[in-house]
Every structure is written in C-alpha cells, then in structure tokens.
Amino acid sequence: MKLTCMMIVAVLFLTAWTFATADDPRNRLENFFSKTQHEMKNPEASKLNKRCIAESEPCNIITQNCCDGKCLFFCIQIPE
C-alpha cells in the first residue's frame, strides 16, 4: 500500500515537473515531443550536432562557425 502511494506521488511529481519546465506554455508536451521527433528525423537539426571548422579551412563569415578564432573567408586564430 505504501509503495503504491509512493509510486502515485512520484508519477504526479514527474508530470507536474514536465509541465513546469516545458518551453511553450500552450502546447507543453505536444511541443516538446514534436521538437524531439523533428530532431530524430533530421539529425542536422540537433543542437548537439553543430560542427565547427578547423583553422585555415574555408568558413562562413555570417555564422562564424570556426572552432577557435574568427572567420575572414578562412578560419584564423587571433592571438590574445
């Protein structure tokens, strides 16, 4: 009986935590799961998959996608 009550309280707590930490207040769980499914279908959309460009490689001036330093058509390391 005590274990059942503890399980019910744990499930209610986790559900409330999920709603409280959701990004969009209107579509809390729906929005969370749709973003996750989109990232699974398109791994390039994942924030963890962002690639950076090594030094002396061509880069994008607008996005500044160099690992270290700055992008001036090629990634260059700027001494501090």
pLDDT score at 49: 54
Lowest-pLDDT choice from 11-15, 20-24, 55-59: 20-24
d(CA 65, CA 17): 35
pLDDT band for 79, please (50, 70, 90 cuts).
Answer: confident
- Shared domain for 7 and 40, answered yes or no, is yes
Residue 22 CB partners (closer than 8 Å, separation 6+)? 28, 29, 31, 32
**Global confidence as pTM:** 0.34
Domain identity same for 60 and 38: no
Q: Structurally, how many domains does the chain consist of?
A: 2
Q: What are phi and psi of 76, to 5 degrees?
A: -130, 145
Q: Are residues 58 and 42 in the same domain?
A: no
pLDDT at position 32 over 70 = no
Report d(CA 33, CA 54) in Å as an integer.
34
Range of 20's domain?
A: 1-48
| Domain shared by 63 and 40, yes or no | no
Question: pLDDT confidence of 7, banded at 50, 70, 90?
Answer: very high
Q: Spell out the alpha helix ranges (H) of the chain.
A: 2-20, 28-41
